[in-house]
Amino acid sequence: MYLVIVGAGDIGSNLIERAVGDGNDVVVIERNDERANAASAEYDCLVLNADATNHDTLREAGIERADAVISTTDVDATNIMVMLLAQEHDVPNLVSVVHDPENLPVFEKIGVTLIENPQQLIADHLYHTVRYPNVGDFVDLDDETELVELTVTETAPMSGQLLETATESGTLPEGSLVVALERDGEIRAPRGETTIRTGDTVTVFTDDARLADAVAAFTATDSEP
């Protein structure tokens, strides 16, 4: 893919590294001299030390053949302008960071794929890491539900349980659903007759009210009731 990435700060730099590492054609636009120079020295891609809200800069970046424009600056107004200009150039995929939730409707009207408030996402991840240390990963689906990844421990209530009977008995909390299971490096779709085993990695859909119960069901330790 041909990607135009606007911003080479913390978010942008990680994105640039990933995109370049995957073999994409990447052009970076960074207004700050120091960041632009650092990106140019670090990554094997074209870096333009210029203003991305300028049509000429975007043309120099080859926006006419871009598969996507991704704006990662810490200023929503800049990201909005970049998205509007990219839209004028008929870029098929528009992606942007959004810092202030009040600006979401503007981005949505443009048709932008949103990365909402990355600072909040980091804070949420840190909190989950402390609050639920046995959670390998999580994804907030909305304000009330999420997906969590858990590795089943030997003493967990769900270890050795059939999914269909675990649901009926209440061992698997009401409203929780095992949507994926990884065993011996193979990912499979769990069914009612699937038996959960120690060492399985399960992805569980649950609501926030039952999150702690779901975590305990799969990862309880000897010290837990």
Give the pLDDT confidence of 168-210 residue by residue, as tens digits.
Answer: 898 998 888 999 999 988 988 898 889 999 999 999 998 878 8
- CATH number listed for the domain at residues 121-219: 3.30.70.1450
- CATH number listed for the domain at residues 2-116: 3.40.50.720
Query: Where are the domains positioned within the chain?
Result: 2-116, 121-219
Q: Name the 3-class secondary structure at 178.
A: strand
Give the pLDDT score at 80: 95
d(CA 21, CA 40): 15
69-to-8, 12, 63, 126, 154 alpha-carbon distances in Å: 14, 12, 8, 29, 47
Q: Name the 3-class secondary structure at 65.
A: helix
pLDDT tens digits, one per residue of 51-85: 999 999 999 999 999 999 999 999 999 999 999 99
Q: Do domains 2-116 and 121-219 have the same CATH topology?
A: no
Residue recorded with tokens 């528009």: 94
